Amino acid sequence: MKLDGKVAVVTGAASGMGKSIAELYAKEGAKVILADLNLEGAEKVTDQITNNGGTAKAVKVNVAELADIENMIDTAVSEYGTLDILVNNAGIMDGMEPVGEVTDERWDLIFDINTKGVMRAIRKALPIFLEKEKGVIINTASTGGLNGAHAGATYGASKHAVVGLTKNTGFMYAEKGIRCNAIAPGGVETNIASSMKNISEFGASRAQLAHAVMPRSGQPEEIAQVALFLASDESSFVNGTVVTADGGWTAAF
């Protein structure tokens, strides 16, 4: 068991990659807080984990709300005594239009969820990690956070910001035993991916071009394996970087 006795918080754990990450972490011995806006969905996954002998608890969290983020980390400590692994995975794949069509309201909402929520969770978890001089942070970015072709202006910028935050956090706290890395998934078959059909006509033509060269779409379980490696001590010298998991998609650009 690679995460035996560790305490992990996974956001967006009711579905897709977050669900797979929570399930794999529990299988590897971690006690997992499944944080999601969709409490019912998170509870379903939690039930499956506990039925399989794992330890897990669901918490309703809107990552755009500071009080929810703080409660999420506090719950990990009150339930399981500490926090070892923070996975900031929740996000919305919205904001696929080019900058000329961006509204301030959509920009703020997407940044609140995809970016500010990540910063706030890290900030809240840091004192726990600093006290024991050990901690792991994993942020779900996107290949849209690495190039201009896989996403629209707002989504792309929100995920580029996650990459920047990841690098700075990894660098600033390396001496304190804290590692912070991001995963940049390519197209993965989840609920979110199906919403890609709803992007604007301009975005769709760009996205379709990019999709034309995508070798294949990924499965959430394939991303969970990357998240397991980054959470375990096997990645002890991997810090402040982005692991792309896209089947070679980005390599085509």
Known catalytic residues are: 155
Q: Does 214 bind ligand NAD (CB under 6 A)?
A: no
Nearest CA to 142 out of 122, 164, 162 is that of 162
Residue from 46, 75, 140, 235 that binds ligand NAD (CB under 6 A)?
A: 140
How many binding residues for ligand NAD (CB under 6 A)? 30
Q: Does 126 bind ligand NAD (CB under 6 A)?
A: no
x-marked contacts with ligand NAD along 74-93 as a string, rule CB under 6 A: ---------------xxxxx
x-marked contacts with ligand NAD along 25-64 as a string, rule CB under 6 A: -----------xxx--x-------------------xxxx
Q: Does 17 bind ligand NAD (CB under 6 A)?
A: yes
Q: Does 194 bind ligand NAD (CB under 6 A)?
A: no
Q: Does 113 bind ligand NAD (CB under 6 A)?
A: yes
Tokens standing for 110? 């997407």
Q: How far is CA 230 from CA 86, 111, 130, 226, in A?
A: 11, 25, 19, 6
**Structural contact between residues 111 and 162, judged by C-beta atoms closer than 8 angstroms:** no
Nearest distance in Å: CB 39, ligand NAD:
9
Q: Does 208 bind ligand NAD (CB under 6 A)?
A: no
> Which is closer to ligand NAD, CB of 22 or CB of 126?
22
Residue numbers of the site for ligand NAD (CB under 6 A)?
A: 11-12, 14-18, 36-38, 41, 61-64, 89-93, 113, 140, 142, 185, 187-188, 190-193
